[in-house]
Structure 1
């Protein structure tokens, strides 16, 4: 690893086989973008274009709504319930609802109460029964209210209180036992719980999910442990793909003396992937697991003030041994750069590649969205785009996907009726609906349908709008090309109505044509303006 990026060297002339944009180039481009988004006349121009897009969509709806509904009715068999939809942003550790978790804990207390599940503070082994006794609890005492995992009005703008909801009954032991992969039982209970959720997806057939699993960058062995857990517990499903979320917690690791500098963090994160790519026979479980990993996510509380500045990207990771956490853009640049090299290597070896899909724009600085726009395939949340018209217009022109979770935002950062999802969708941004954390925000065993149903009621969405959101979720997802062809049509990559199969998507060609023609017209407007300059 040199300057924070893994180098794959040629045996013949000892030169690097793959290159990535330099940090100087990254900072230069970032500064240009920051200047662009703060330019007064350009902000006015983009704001007017966005308002025009909203008005044009309203006019389209007035003129074509009945025609679109008639087109849907002519399609045999297909309706909103049986079009394919993907939950594009959901965390594996909270993918179940609170009642499901409660039932699972009670079942384990009945059937596995004598199993050793953890160690106490003195290192003594404890069975599940011992854990309950130490808390003066019985399985009968447990209720949804006692679990206390659901977000409420007290979590609004309090990410610290929200994080505490990850501990059932307020006990970190319960989290360790039931929703972690690396524990004394090697994550057996969590795997069983996940399988039950996945079985529900498979029974439904038309709902799919991309679950996030965590890699912290604490140890070089983390990847092998996670892969072994997934493979040994047979956590494969046609309805599921995995993303790896990387928490931005360097400052915590440094404070506790777990790692020395940011380079060590990056090595723990990426070197095992290069080894599994070059020597798959030596990392069989990891090689197999990576076939079903589609991308990486960067997660943390974006509302926290950042002590370092974006310009600190000039400091190389081996020299970043400060106690402060690096800036959001620092994390994204080094994740992106290592992924560029890794993807080139994997592509050359005939393996699947990965994309960067970070949490961005949930709160905090608009700067996060600039970094994400430069490096990411799509993002989660994107709420702060409503305050940055130039960036919002760029996200529209480039059709960068945004997985939005209005129920999650409603509990943490933004009241539901103020959420810009309906506005973004109307303007033509590539939007999908996602659940984020069903354990904290949802009540039913179909959290994605819950998300759709509430959005449809609040914003008075039509069946066409909902089917468009479902189609967008498949387009944004990391499922394989052949799977997408089966789900939304063999020509789905073609632009406009030529890429739409009404019999699979239930989205009328009228709507798809409108989206395509509007986008082309906006691009032409820009090109004509450039030609005049």
Structure 2
């Protein structure tokens, strides 16, 4: 035993002396020949790394404890090879990570002083899952090539429609389209819809690297809280009249420089897709979503995205929670929250409405609120005619909350807008155009806005209705807002257009569909051409961000039509036009209007309709082509191709699980968690707090 220990000690001493004397293994000593014999048997030849043990420096043993000394030369060799592999893999990983975030062709054009960002600004410290190999799609090569071509065609269609209407298209997708196809529109500019003042961002860096870098380059004076309005919100510049002439042509308004251009039928070159182009593009997309290989490919990609998200949660959940908590002065309660889909007539909860009605009945009982065949009626008389007093009113008596009886019954749901089942109370308290000029409705909206301002971090995009029944609706709505000073820094407006032409036509309120379009869009072209013709409307429009389209999507209709469909001026039948017909003419007129307003330096509008809550899937095709964002989108769960296209283009989807639970889809079947896991751009919204929520903060 002692001889064995001594022998081992001698061998170790010999090797140690050999290394300390700087022998590289090529000498004639017995110890060096022993090293050569050991190293040359199965191990690769020893080649010292640059900077490691060149002049007799001992390399620390990272595998063993600091006080342990390697007993065999193979340990030294293995240690050096391990170090070399670590360095090589680290360099390769850094290069790959940088390539994955920005292409060299883009980075080369950036000035070095703009690129002074640490590595953690680009790459979160999360574990990543990398899929490698020649074929990772899981479908045959021919199917993959065909699906890729079809996807790119669909993306080009949406990019073209967004560009024409001055709506936003994701910069990342646009960049990849430009790199994929030289025919892509290189002149496309990323549209951002902002308020009067936005955060200053380095535009050159934004165009090169994208959102992840620009977030770090916000202006130094960016406030933590939104600055309150110090002046009247209705003060704005009143541009002079332009003297243009405009008139509808086949359902779409055209703008002419003067009467001579009008007589020569020479409108300004405001581009918009003509009806035959729209029909052709829509038919092409409908054929895509029915293509078998395309469906297989998109379904596999969506399944892959879901699985990848689950892996991310398993690998990085704790790190992500830690990184969230590391952000100073930010938690769930004080992050900015925007209710992107909420209707103004139901933005309060039922308890709030009950208190408001009781308070109004107590303090303004003798105020004249309506007029019928017998003459004027005070608020007290209205309640006496229903045999009610303030004491009798309860939440249950209001009966405005949705229940299981409204499931797939949109007619019953609409009836819930009438407190106590009385349309008179809705007319008095929840309308902008009534005998009082919407005074009570303005008060309750201001109370809701006050609650939002008190919370500081909650905002809402309220929907107000324009029906298209008469040409003075816009002026009445603008007068309601300005006269009652219905404004809040936390509120912006969308205009919802109910699809009720069939009701108006049946009641002889209009002769054809063109009258509805004229009542909606003619005042907007007038005020853009000459703000002095509608000064209050000009003031109000600066806080309007877009248009919505609302009604029961489950109504039976013919979802497809061809280029020979009846034009709006000839659509005089009592049948309601299909959803796509409404959306196309709304989109086309908004597109021309946006060109006109952008030329005058005024704010533009977006299209954000209710889409995909029920009905045929062609509604979602219309949303993909023409809408910047949509509301609901439940039917995407049944159409993998469209769902994948919505993911690629990051179309915003405002989802309302509680609303869907009472109308069309049970809560546990709602696809919101699945959409979120797959990377679709979704937001949580309330839709109608009056019908579906109980608390003061329904979004929370």
TM-score (norm 1): 0.83
TM-score (norm 2): 0.63
- Which residues of structure 1 form unaligned runs of 5+? 450-533
Query: Is 1:265 paired with 2:265?
Result: no
Partner of 1:3: 250
Partner of 1:24: 276
Q: After the TM superposition, list the runs of 4 or more consecutive aligned residues in structure 1 that deviate by more than 6 angstroms.
A: none
Contact 1:358–1:378, Cα closer than 8 Å, also in 2: yes
Partner of 1:93: 345
Partner of 2:23: none
Q: Rg larger in 1 or in 2?
A: 2
1:306 to 549, 557, 576: 557
Contact 1:30–1:370, Cα closer than 8 Å, also in 2: yes
1:296-330 deviation per Cα after TM superposition (whole angstroms, max 9, x unaligned)? 00000001111574337721100100110000000
Partner of 1:168: 419
2:410 to 145, 154, 159: 159
Alignment of 1:39-118 (within 5 A): 39-118=291-370
SS class of match (2:452):
helix
Query: Is 1:194 paired with 2:445?
Result: yes
Partner of 1:369: 620
Contact 1:157–1:412, Cα closer than 8 Å, also in 2: yes
1:407 to 658, 662, 671: 658
1:143 to 394, 417, 439: 394
Contact 1:346–1:353, Cα closer than 8 Å, also in 2: yes
SS class of match (1:80):
coil
How many residues align? The count is 448
In structure 2, what is the Cα distance between the partners aligned to 1:203 and 1:447? 15
- Greater helix share, structure number: 1
Contact 2:495–2:546, Cα closer than 8 Å, also in 1: yes
Contact 2:369–2:377, Cα closer than 8 Å, also in 1: yes
**Post-superposition offset of 1:211:** 0.1
SS class of match (2:492):
strand
Alignment of 1:442-481 (within 5 A): 442-449=693-700
Query: CA 1:103–1:314 in 2, change beyond 3 Å: closer, same or farther?
Result: same
1:88-112 deviation per Cα after TM superposition (whole angstroms, max 9, x unaligned)? 0000000000000000000011000
In structure 2, what is the Cα distance between the partners aligned to 1:146 and 1:313? 52
- Which range moved further: 86-95 or 34-43? 34-43
Contact 1:307–1:324, Cα closer than 8 Å, also in 2: no
SS class of match (2:495):
strand
**Post-superposition offset of 1:281:** 1.6
Partner of 1:508: none
Contact 1:247–1:300, Cα closer than 8 Å, also in 2: yes
Partner of 1:390: 641
In structure 1, what is the Cα distance between the partners aligned to 2:563 and 2:463? 29
Which structure's relative contact order is higher, taking Cα pairs within 8 Å and 6+ residues apart?
A: 1
In structure 1, what is the Cα distance between the partners aligned to 2:565 and 2:525? 25
Contact 2:275–2:563, Cα closer than 8 Å, also in 1: no
**Post-superposition offset of 1:400:** 0.5
- Which range moved further: 101-110 or 122-131? 122-131
2:482 to 213, 225, 231: 231
In structure 2, what is the Cα distance between the partners aligned to 1:108 and 1:70? 50
Partner of 1:464: none
Contact 2:419–2:425, Cα closer than 8 Å, also in 1: yes
**Post-superposition offset of 1:44:** 1.0
Contact 2:553–2:614, Cα closer than 8 Å, also in 1: yes
Contact 2:559–2:616, Cα closer than 8 Å, also in 1: no
- Which range moved further: 409-418 or 298-307? 298-307
Contact 2:609–2:630, Cα closer than 8 Å, also in 1: yes
- Which residues of structure 2 form unaligned runs of 5+? 1-247
In structure 1, what is the Cα distance between the partners aligned to 2:282 and 2:533? 40
SS class of match (2:400):
coil
Contact 2:560–2:580, Cα closer than 8 Å, also in 1: no
Contact 2:559–2:579, Cα closer than 8 Å, also in 1: no
Query: Is 1:318 paired with 2:597?
Result: no
Q: CA RMSD in A?
A: 1.1
In structure 1, what is the Cα distance between the partners aligned to 2:462 and 2:289? 33
In structure 2, what is the Cα distance between the partners aligned to 1:134 and 1:74? 61
Partner of 1:33: 285
In structure 2, what is the Cα distance between the partners aligned to 1:324 and 1:382? 26
Alignment of 1:267-282 (within 5 A): 267-282=518-533
Contact 1:212–1:243, Cα closer than 8 Å, also in 2: yes
